[in-house]
Amino acid sequence: MKIFSRDQIYNADRLTIERQGLAAGELMERAAEASFNYIHSRLQGSPTPIVVLAGTGNNGGDGLALARHLMEHGYHVEVYMVQVRKERSPEFLQNLERLRERKCWPELLEEKGPRPELGQQHIVVDAIFGIGLNRVPDPWILELFQYINAAPSFVVSLDIASGLFLDRHTEPGQSVEAEVVLSFQFPKLPFFLPETGSSVHGWEVLDIGLDPAVLAETPAEFHWIYGDLLKPAYRGRGRFAHKGQMGHAAVLGGSTGKIGAVRLAAEAVLTAGAGKVTARTPRSGLVPLQVGLPEAMVEVDKGKDALESFALSVKPQVVALGMGMGTAAATVQAFTTFLEEKPQMPLVIDADGLNILGQNRELLDLLPPSTVLLPHPGELKILIGEWTDDFDKLEKARAFVKQYDCVLVIKGAHTLTLYRELGYFNSSGNPGMATAGSGDVLAGIVAGLIAQGYSPLDAALVGVFLHGLSGDLAVRDMGYEALRASHLIQYLGVAFRQWLQPPAPAEGQQEG
């Protein structure tokens, strides 16, 4: 699903109105109807008091139109006009008049006036500011935001949480914190970034009927990725397939005390479907790997505690490296020699492999095209440097990807995969996956997919999604706290099955 910029949203609105011949305010009416349907389907006419806080622009017009629909269906609604500015948009005035025709006279909420009662029994509809906000609100508005955030009410924001800028950083405390945002037609970029996403506890995309041709022909820099979008990338296996056709991956890493990282990655390679895996570790890793993962082939380095050579006796389709590897001088030299010899297979680099690249930046120029890098936030700083905020981080990460022609997978709550000009936010996963070894499993999954013939980008996107889905399935059985990295491997097969199963037939539709 595309994530549009503010200008792209405005353009899509304008072209939809032109191509569909819509009257003024009709698109706003669609947004209000979609919002009403969402709320009504959950409240089912319950006597829950609803407080609508409407600004004086188009987002406020959405709020007034929603209030009218709620009143027409018997809900108890209090409407407040937040005097954010003296000017009022035509659509706002149109919906204000329609409310007044129904004998509803919204109360004006000004800097010096009293604040509405917001109790635990209330639902608050936040329609103060929309995506057009381009400056920090006045201090009294910020105080109003804090009043809303401190209340025990359930807050529903229309399109975006008021105070959030769409395309740039918002300082903490300068926005409404919404339990759910009803986002019109598209998710919004701030939802996916740690600093701004904390203001959005949940969100739903509501279809408001923007012209499909406009949506299809408008390119987007960022996308939200979910399972159905990834299904065309799936590479099945034929009836007569054998292990030699399913790919061979090598895993290079480990050091004394950290051999488990290699074991996790190698097991994930096989569980993701690769035919064979070879692990190369220091001598201290031989027994743990041979006993713990009998399906793996193991090559032992001459170094007892750390890798001193990356030379392999096999020719794999992909090499994953860095997991638990350490940064000993001999290991750094081995990594350098490996890259100087221009490896011809794709690489998947994680953990200490990233640390070595960041500390020896000349090695970045030696990476094969489309190398997959899997940093967590700390490792990302080593690669791209410090950033001032999440939007600055995006710009620096995109510049890094362009310079080094790599697939950059920034791990997090909504793992972001960057390749060339595009970014893809993942839809699966949960906080229980914030545990040791989770990244090693991801590296193994991605390598296992590349071994089977997936492109590095497809392997990253599918691998990240399945990794998160495995975590979602596992957490149902054991909760966040007990989830361990090995559980992600355990549930990976179930994740594949759930991802690939056909959609359930619609009500009244026969199967077969």
74 assigned binding-site residue: no
Q: Looking at the DSSP assignment, which residues form a beta bridge with residue 126? A: 53, 157
- Residue 160 carries which DSSP code? S
Alpha-carbon gap, residue 477 to 484, rounded angstroms: 12
Alpha-carbon gap, residue 23 to 18, rounded angstroms: 9
Q: Which amino acid is at 83?
A: Q
398 assigned binding-site residue: no
Q: Let me know: does 458 contact 233? Beta carbons within 8 Å.
A: yes
162 assigned binding-site residue: yes
Q: Looking at the DSSP assignment, which residues form a beta bridge with residue 306? A: 255
Q: Name the residue with tokens 């919906």.
A: 95
- In order, the DSSP letters of 264-306 are HHHHHHHHTT-SEEEEEE-GGGHHHHHHH-TTSEEEE-S-SSB
61 assigned binding-site residue: yes
Q: Which amino acid is at 184?
A: F
358 assigned binding-site residue: no
> Which of 245, 281, 251, 284 minimizes the C-alpha distance to 267?
251
- Residue 159 carries which DSSP code? S
149 assigned binding-site residue: no
Q: Let me know: does 232 contact 226? Beta carbons within 8 Å.
A: no
7 assigned binding-site residue: no
238 assigned binding-site residue: no
58 assigned binding-site residue: yes
Contacts (Cβ under 8 Å, ≥6 apart) of 176: 126, 128, 145, 148, 149, 155, 157, 161, 162, 163, 199
334 assigned binding-site residue: no
136 assigned binding-site residue: yes
126 assigned binding-site residue: yes
405 assigned binding-site residue: no
60 assigned binding-site residue: yes
Collapse the DSSP code of 420 into the 3-class scheme (helix H, G, I; strand E, B; otherwise coil) and give the result.
Answer: coil
Phi, psi of 317, rounded to the nearest 5 degrees: -80, -20
Instruction: Write out the E strands in 185-270.
Output: 203-206, 222-225, 248-252
412 assigned binding-site residue: yes
- Per-residue tokens: 301: 């380095």
CB neighbour burial string for 467-501, b if at least 16 within 10 angstroms, e if fewer: bbbbbbbbbeeeeeeebbbbbbbbbbeebbeebee
Cα 264 to chain centroid, rounded: 24
388 assigned binding-site residue: no
134 assigned binding-site residue: yes
- Per-residue tokens: 411: 């791990």
Alpha-carbon gap, residue 318 to 272, rounded angstroms: 14
284 assigned binding-site residue: no
39 assigned binding-site residue: no
- Give the H or E element holding residue 37: helix 26-43
> Which of 260, 317, 320 minimizes the C-alpha distance to 291?
260
- Per-residue tokens: 404: 């080094």
Q: Let me know: does 468 contact 413? Beta carbons within 8 Å.
A: no
Q: Which residues does the annotation place in the binding site?
A: 58-62, 126, 130-136, 159, 162, 261, 324, 376, 411-415, 439-440
Binding residues for (6S)-NADPHX: 58-62, 130-136, 159, 261, 324, 376, 440
Which residues make up each annotated binding site for K(+)? 59, 126, 162
Output the known binding site for AMP: 411-415, 439
